[in-house]
Amino acid sequence: MIRAQCAIILAAVLCVPASAAVLDIKALSSRPDRVSGGDVLLRITQSDDAATPVTLNGTDVSKAFGASSAPHSRDGLVKGLKLGVNMIAAGGKSLSIKNYPITGPIVSGPLQTPYFCTTGQFPIFSGATPGLLADKSVFNPPTDKNCSAPTKITYLYLAKGATDLKRIADPAKPPADVAMTTTSAGVTMPFIVRLETSTVDRGIYQSTVLYDAKSDSGSSWRNPPRGWNRRLITITGTGCPGGWYFQGMKGGSIVLDGFDASIFSPARLGQGYALMGNTLMNPSQSCNQVLAGEAAVMSREHFIKTVGVPELNLAIGCSGGSYSSAQLGDQLPGLFDGILISCTFPDPVTIAFSGLDGHLLTHYFMLTPAGRKFTEAQQVAVSGYQGKQAWIDAANQAGRTDPVGGRKDVAGYLPARWNDSVPKNLYYDPKTNPKGLRPTIFDDSKNIYGTDPKSGFANRTFDNIGVQYGLAALNDKTISVDQFLDLNEGVGGYDQDASYVPQRSAANTQALKRAYQAGLILDGGAGLSTIPVFDVSGIMRDEAGYHYQWFHYALRDRLARANGNADNHVMWRGKPVPFEKAFAAFSGWAESVHKDGSARSQRAKVIAGRPKNLVDGCWRDAGSFVAEKQVVGHEPSTACNKLFPNWTNPRFIAGSPIAYSIIKCQTKPVSEADYKVAFTAAQMGRAKKIFAGGVCDWSKPGVSQVKVVPWASFGPAPENMVFDVTKAG
């Protein structure tokens, strides 16, 4: 029954709903202060079912609301928001809504320019399974300077006995050989999927979900597709080098290049999962993780307003997708409900900076007279890697920070990586084009790092002051004291162009602080502390390739340091890890947490919800699992390390924790007590001269090392604003 308050006014009876009935107004599609696209999905919760009027900026929008799945609630998609602040009001309650353009930005700072549109060339089925790759369908041409394009809907189906999706012209007229599927929610239906391609945040958005033409023709957020199990998988891409200044040519809601096809096989769709991606969440197209986070949030918002509200949002990724999943999960608490990662890295900074350490060593050992006196075994011991090729492959990842093309001092070194979408005449060259575009992880994220007032280039944060390269090799007597001193005297650093210089590199400490605050250097103590983190380490090749096992342990160690333990992290290693078993275990863990209605903390729910049989271990083969805690090391002290030995990196050999989260160390005076070998008086005097400012004290936090700021902004959103590059002096 509708309750009302009635009053006699000028002999007329006016009845209005009781304002006290409204308890809450909540935005379902996004945070209310970060809405995009001119509309917002809202829920109004009341003490009863009164049809209380709802207004937007004083205009009645009550007709937008209808029944909700929640008791005493109404849901509605309110359209017509103006840019900026809007006010929703109902029954004496109000909610301020801040609306931004669908092209952004919201939190990533000024739009990158130049920026090259690719919608007109974008292959709808980029990175798909073999059969779909034969379909050359492309998206629509851009309609404005922000690379917007009209939405395009395509349909696919799975034939009986097939493993590959095929294009279908009319979903209402499926071929006779269409397969049937039964979802995790028990819905049996023809295996037909709907693929949407559109533009969000200047990126290309794609989503895929089961579709039944008989019941889903009018599906929307209010009536989601009947085959959708209300679970969303966010796909986070691969790579990093070359990921700048263009919109992207790889989507992400079917299958991505570089992945084991089992990860995003049609099985996921057949189980009822919806898949979603955005080209700007793919690091090979945007290696700026703040922008990737913005694109992820806006894409999820678009998905909710066009498909429905997911009960669980799971992120899955390998390599660049692993760190995108981890970083976005930490930066944006609540965005993901669990991450399943493989080929793992904590963040692209760790790859690049360990590469910079290694690149200094390649220069010293291969190109200086003193360095050539080291044997190969000694060089490798200083590097920390399994062998010379492993060290060189890792060192060559320094190319991500190098804006100057054409350097060939080490075989395989590839600086200044570009995508063909960016015209060559715009490339930076210190001599011929000193004002050109710089393809580095710093310049791509200059809204976070800020710019050097002299050069106009992005500030750089690599630092090796006080780092004692080769310390462990000295202490185990692999190298002599004089070799140790020669190395640290001659190792040098880099200038703004990543060219070798005799002096060591010093980080811009304010830029470094912002990198920590932004989560560009993974913290692990924010959103990542409250969700399941399952690392299925299928690449076990420490001998070459730079996807090394120590990166997995770096991520785990950061979780432990940030939270006191890493009990929400599980690691499986193997050649390979059986993915279907891993996915079943991971999804079961996430479901258990989702169903926990207790009052305990979210982290406690995650730890308690982990299945008892989901423990650390390694796979001898697809049918033989060894349950034991996974630890760093290449000595066969454990069964798994005997099967899969793992090595480290130059900074670990210099005394750093495996976390590699201290970029610029605090220092302490040189002390004989730090060494396990004897120094002569002359040698100690030389050491104190080389390290006049002290040596790294790895027991202390790094200089400028602060916690990540959850939901940080770099403009224009004022909430949680960390830095505005447009106002920097």
pLDDT at 368 over 60: yes
Average pLDDT over residues 547-564: 97
Going by pLDDT thresholds of 50, 70 and 90, the confidence category of residue 129 is low
pLDDT digit string, tens, across residues 60-73: 999 999 999 899 99
pLDDT digit string, tens, across residues 230-267: 999 999 888 899 999 999 998 766 644 444 444 556 88
Q: What pLDDT does 405 receive?
A: 95
Least confident of 193-207, 260-274, 691-705: 260-274
Closest CA to 371 of 468, 477, 492: 492
Residue 417 structure tokens: 């990586």
Where is pLDDT greater, at 257 or 636? 636
Residue 680 structure tokens: 């002569």
Burial per residue of 24-55, b for 16 or more beta-carbon CB atoms within 10 angstroms, e otherwise: ebebbbbbbbbbbbbbbbbbbbbeeebebebe
Superfamily of domain 4-100, CATH level 4? Immunoglobulins (2.60.40.10)
pTM for the model stands at 0.95
Q: What pLDDT does 12 receive?
A: 34
Counted residue by residue, the chain has a size of: 729
The share of the chain scoring above pLDDT 90, in percent, equals: 85
Arithmetic mean of pLDDT over the chain: 93
What CA–CA distance (Å, rounded) separates 454 from 94? 48
Burial per residue of 462-500, b for 16 or more beta-carbon CB atoms within 10 angstroms, e otherwise: bbbbbbbbbbbbbbeebbebebbbbbbebbbbbebbbeb
Reported as type and span, the H/E element at residue 358 is helix 348-367
Q: What pLDDT does 537 receive?
A: 83
The CATH 2.60.40.10 portion of the chain extends over 4-100
Report for 29-38, 132-141, 619-628: range of highest mean pLDDT: 29-38
pLDDT digit string, tens, across residues 284-341: 999 999 999 999 999 999 999 999 999 999 999 989 999 999 999 999 999 999 999 9
Residue 96 structure tokens: 């301020």
Q: What pLDDT does 260 receive?
A: 47
Q: What pLDDT does 16 receive?
A: 42
72: left (phi over 0), alpha (psi -120 to 50) or beta: left
pLDDT at 714 over 80: yes
